[in-house]
A and B are shown apart, each in its own frame.
Chain A
Amino acid sequence: MERFTTVVVGAGHAGLAASHFLTARSIDHVVLERGEVANSWRRERWDSLRLLTPNWLSRLPGFAYAGPDPDGYMTSGEVAGFIADFAAVSGAPVRGHSAVTSVRRSDDGYLVSAGGGDVSCRSVVLASGACNVPVVPALSGFIPPEVRQLTPFDYRGPASVEGDKRVLVVGASATGVQIAAELQRSGRQVTLAVGEHVRMPRLHHGKDVLWWMDASGVWDQSYQEVDDLDRARRLPSPQLVGTPSRDTLDLNTLTGLGVELVGRLATVRDGIALFSGGLRNVCSLADLKMKRLLAGFDQWGGVAEKTDIEPTRVPANARWKLDLGSGEISTIIWATGFRPDYSWLDVPVVDEKGRLRHEGGVVDSPGLYALGLPVLRRRRSTFISGIEDDARAVVGHLAAELGVDAPAAASQTG
């Protein structure tokens, strides 16, 4: 059987960053990838998607965006190219088309079954992604069959939605607001079911709001300092979109486009979708949190000038029911988040809610590590710019456990 010191599962930016630091410490390893490098950016994003993080935030260990437009936002294809370049520069030993079907404990480490055969190793880095499967709520089982249900993985663009009837988009995180805006602009009527969400302006005092997140240190807050870690890890993505014109995409923008806002989809009863009457409060909460965040930035930056952002305009009488059998809507799009898939992980480290038990990426089983999960070690952990520190720390722990403490003198990529 083939043997490596370390196996990395997944060749997204997280697995490749792990590989970078393993190479720097001369730890022999292989990166097993079910598809190609940056697979999720090639196969699991809709056509118009651009990063919501600006180009200058696309920085990986020893590798950063060097193009002409630091304030722009990459398309999925550009991200795939960027990550593939990183893989090439760092000489990552990637084995493509090699899906891992099982990871289990062995006497001195782990046994990894993959497309190309079994591999044994002392340690495993799980970098298989946090967004492998779109989450669809159980109440989807009560939707009448004539209504088509799509997840963001099925959605490529407005052409994925058949007919010209109204579309119900459920969820108002980045995915939901972006798809709602695109469909409404394409001429469809969209109803958006809004639960708790994170509102942000694209620009604050002329700078990208994520510049403030980055520079003020908010994103660097460690998982040990976060008040309610469980909550921070479940936080929906911010209502942001990357466009060349750097526009804000909040609920007011959507209302302006003609999107109808309704409360959180609470249940479906006798073919009727019932929405929560709490829309006003989720909007107030989001407005208050945004104000606090921006006030914190101003305080940090010593900016006296006030910004004045219009509160979310909540419809006076948002409808609270929609008859799914009436033919008014033809399609529901579940923008209700994503979850990782650990069905192939035969080590008991996943809790009853499907979450990996780990402490800052050190999983609850010796020699097992994780990267790329929400607030793994810092608030910025799931973002591209968050991987460098996380991967360095996690590989540092891995090396110490193996007894190969000192980083190799010269890192290949400088």
Chain B
Amino acid sequence: MTTIDNGVNVKALLDAREVLKGAPEAAQFTWRASSKWEKGVRSTTTIEKFFGLGQEQTHKNETTFSSDHPEVFAAEDQGITPIEYLLVGLAGCLTAGVASVAQNRGIQLRSVESTVEGNHDIRGILGADSDVRNGYNDIKVTFNIDADASKEEIEALVAQSQKRSAVYDALTNPTSVTVEVA
């Protein structure tokens, strides 16, 4: 087999899987974000530290995200809408999955592009109709992948990436959420 390189260190991931099988404590991660209200419906959220492998960890750089709402919502649009961040997370997670699975299966990728569309009936959040939910009604992801592989192998990559995706799971399955006032 010719060596292929999608830039994913699959060996490190597979090694980690073996190690963590016997060390479930080390596999417990906590991801953290800190948010601050700016003005109106705008806020800034920063992410820098997380917990994992039994200790505090720090990203190379702190990242700041602005969330706001578009002008059609009578806001200033100084950042994307919070619910759009879910699309960012989903696309990022599925794409990482495609690259990793492809690397593991010896498939060379040339390009992976996707569009993510979330259909949202905003009557829910506006309280205009109590039968309409607040969140997305459905989400559609369309991948365009150019790779040294058959159509079926590419479909299998995308399916496997969903199967192992954290964000896909978080969106398709309910999660218990606790919100408290400190």
Contacts and interface: CB of A to CB of B under 8 A. Distances in A.
B156 A288 contact: yes
Contacts of A267: 173-174
B163 interface: yes
A269 interface: yes
Contact of B174 (A266, A285, A317): A266
A263 interface: yes
A91 interface: no
Interface stretch (A42-50, A174-182, A201-209, A276-284): A276-284
Contacts of B173: 264, 266-267, 274, 276-278
A288 B152 contact: yes
B5 interface: no
B138 interface: yes
Interface in A205-241: none
Interface string A395-412: 000000000000000000
Contacts of B156: 288, 292
Contacts of A339: none
A269 B175 CA distance: 10
A274 to B, nearest CB: 5
Interface string B151-168: 010011001101100001
Given A288-B152, A317-B138, A276 B159 contact: no
B30 to A, nearest CB: 21
B83 to A, nearest CB: 16
Nearest to B156: A288
Given A288-B152, A288-B156, A291-B152, A281 B163 contact: yes
A267 B175 CA distance: 9
Given A278-B168, A284-B155, A269 B163 contact: no
Contact of B172 (A263, A285, A288, A291): A263
B80 interface: no
Interface size class of A (residues with CB under 8 A): 10 to 19
Nearest to A196: B163
B172 to A, nearest CB: 4
A288 B168 contact: no
Given A278-B168, A317-B138, A288 B174 contact: no
B138 A285 contact: no
Given A263-B172, A267-B174, A278 B162 contact: yes
Nearest to B139: A277
A277 B159 contact: no
Given A291-B152, A317-B138, A278 B159 contact: no
A278 B172 contact: yes
A274 B174 CA distance: 7
Contacts of A317: 138
Contacts of A274: 173-174
A297 B135 CA distance: 45
Most chain-A Cβ atoms within 10 A of its Cβ — which of B162, B168, B171, B172? B172
A281 B159 contact: yes
A276 B172 CA distance: 5
Interface in A256-301: 263-264, 266-267, 269, 274, 276-278, 281, 284-285, 288, 291-292
Contacts of B160: 285
A284 B159 contact: yes
Nearest to B136: A277
A297 to B, nearest CB: 16
Nearest to A291: B152
B152 A277 contact: no
B59 to A, nearest CB: 29
A288 B155 contact: yes
Nearest to A264: B173
B159 A285 contact: yes
A285 B101 CA distance: 14
Interface string A313-335: 00001000000000000000000
B18 to A, nearest CB: 12
Contacts of B169: 278
A278 B160 CA distance: 12
Interface of B: 138, 152, 155-156, 159-160, 162-163, 168-169, 171-174
Given A284-B155, A284-B159, 7 more contacts: A264-B173, A278-B162, A278-B168, A278-B169, A281-B159, A288-B152, A317-B138
- Closest 9 interchain pairs by CB? A277-B172, A278-B172, A266-B173, A281-B162, A284-B159, A274-B174, A285-B159, A288-B156, A276-B173
17 contacts: A264-B173, A267-B174, A269-B174, A274-B173, A276-B173, A277-B173, A278-B162, A278-B168, A278-B173, A281-B159, A281-B162, A281-B163, A284-B155, A285-B163, A288-B155, A291-B152, A292-B152
